[in-house]
Amino acid sequence: MAQHEASARDDLWSWHDRHGFRRIVNVSGTMTGLGASVASPAVREATAAAMGRFVRMHELQARASATIARLTGAEAGFLTASASAGISLAIAGCITGLDPARAEALPADAGPRREVAVQLGHLCGYGAPVETAIALAGARTRPVGQSTLAMDHQLRGALGEATAAALYVVSHHVVHYGQIPFTTFVAIARERGVPVIVDAASEYDLTGFLEAGADLVVYSAHKFLGGPTGGIVAGRRDLVRAAYLQNVGIGRGMKIGKESIAGAIAAMEAWMVRDHAAVRAAEEATLALWASAIAGLPGITSRIVPDPTGNPLSRLQVEVDPARAGTSAAAFARALAEQDPALIVRDHEIELGYFQLDPCNLLPGQDRIVADTLAAVLRAGAAHAERPGDRARARNGGVDGYLGWLA
């Protein structure tokens, strides 16, 4: 183990250096813009083994279904390109059932039953708008309630002859008060005979939504599971089959390869035997190391905060008093990202004067790099004056990166 860790440490940057990519340490979480997560050797081997061979894809997806069923308690499941794709395919399956002609007609002709009811406070962006994933299926978003309050009668009133499905989004991005509790949401949808789809892309709870009555649940394979890029659709056998059928239509552009299916199966298998308590303990120790590295710095306060959706994961929140620290949280986040290696912090709420450090994607040896870099940068606040754009960078999400690419 020690030897393995030592060689992993030596090899931390050789790939970046060889290709001329800038070195980065990801303390922001599972971010698409940084390559989401890193896979274990077992996952990488499973992926590589599939690359050199042919296999019947339906057979491979049937194996994935069996693994998904064991992982989630679902009747069945399949894999697609991403969770975002999974949302579109799940909705499309609810619209067309097992009719291939109707599947081929999407998204242009979804027929009259094509509305998807979603609480307005759940219409967030996860890098792209939830509404876009709905629209790609040929469906129409039917918002329920107002942004910070959705009431039972509003959901009831939205469900009718035109409803194909009701979508429930679980995310730190959604509004966290005034929303309909999941069990109530399911009960109302059941009254109306409407299937419930849950976007649980980032949720460690792989069984709870199905146990509580969800018909289909969507997860990312490449987030906490540490698989290759992919989306997991799990749930009722009839709806899973209907969603899988969409590969003859809109699903074609959302295709997943054999290598990613093989890797995702290995990642799911690994998750079922992972020592979750040991991983958690190591993460907690890392947070304590970081907190002590910056303790007592002027204008800097840190606290350990729980994950907002209840995932078994804590983060270190670093709160900045600019008058005493010499600069703002936004300037610190930018300055940390300018170091070598760059420290990419979690900055969704930077305008509130803090950023967070997420330990879940650290590689061996990086805990100390983070501690040292943090201490050095946070100690030198006056050297990192806020620049125009420091706050907007976080607020504009990935858009600036796309506009700047090859510009």
Bridge partners (DSSP) of residue 214 are: none
Query: Closest distance between ligand PLP and the C-beta of residue 119, in Å?
Result: 14
Q: What DSSP line would sit under 101-165, residue for residue? A: HHHHHTTT---S--EEEEEGGG--BSSSBHHHHHHTTT-EEEEESBTTB--HHHHHHH-STTEEE
At residue 247, the 3 state secondary structure works out as: helix
Query: Closest distance between ligand PLP and the C-beta of residue 202, in Å?
Result: 4
Identify which of residues 199 and 358 has a Cβ nearer to ligand PLP in the complex: 199
Identify which of residues 83 and 357 has a Cβ nearer to ligand PLP in the complex: 83
Query: Closest distance between ligand PLP and the C-beta of residue 230, in Å?
Result: 7
Query: Closest distance between ligand PLP and the C-beta of residue 211, in Å?
Result: 19
Query: Closest distance between ligand PLP and the C-beta of residue 406, in Å?
Result: 23
Identify which of residues 82 and 260 has a Cβ nearer to ligand PLP in the complex: 82
Measured distance CA(115)–CA(301) in Å, rounded: 47
Query: Closest distance between ligand PLP and the C-beta of residue 241, in Å?
Result: 21
Identify which of residues 33 and 160 has a Cβ nearer to ligand PLP in the complex: 33
Name, in order, each residue with C-beta under 8 angstroms of 36's C-beta and a sequence gap of 6 or more.
30, 220, 222, 223, 229
Q: Give the H or E element holding residue 315.
A: strand 314-320
Measured distance CA(265)–CA(257) in Å, rounded: 13
Name, in order, each residue with C-beta under 8 angstroms of 376's C-beta and a sequence gap of 6 or more.
none
Identify which of residues 169 and 234 has a Cβ nearer to ligand PLP in the complex: 169
Identify which of residues 47 and 82 has a Cβ nearer to ligand PLP in the complex: 82
Q: Which residues bind ligand PLP (CB under 6 A)?
A: 32, 82-84, 126, 169, 171, 199, 201-202, 220, 231
Q: Give the H or E element holding residue 77.
A: strand 76-80
Judge whether 1 and 318 are in contact, CB under 8 Å: no
Query: Closest distance between ligand PLP and the C-beta of residue 127, in Å?
Result: 7
Identify which of residues 231 and 263 has a Cβ nearer to ligand PLP in the complex: 231
The two structure tokens encoding residue 160 = 């009718």
Q: What DSSP line would sit under 190-219, residue for residue? A: HHTT--EEEE-TT-S-SSHHHHTT-SEEEE
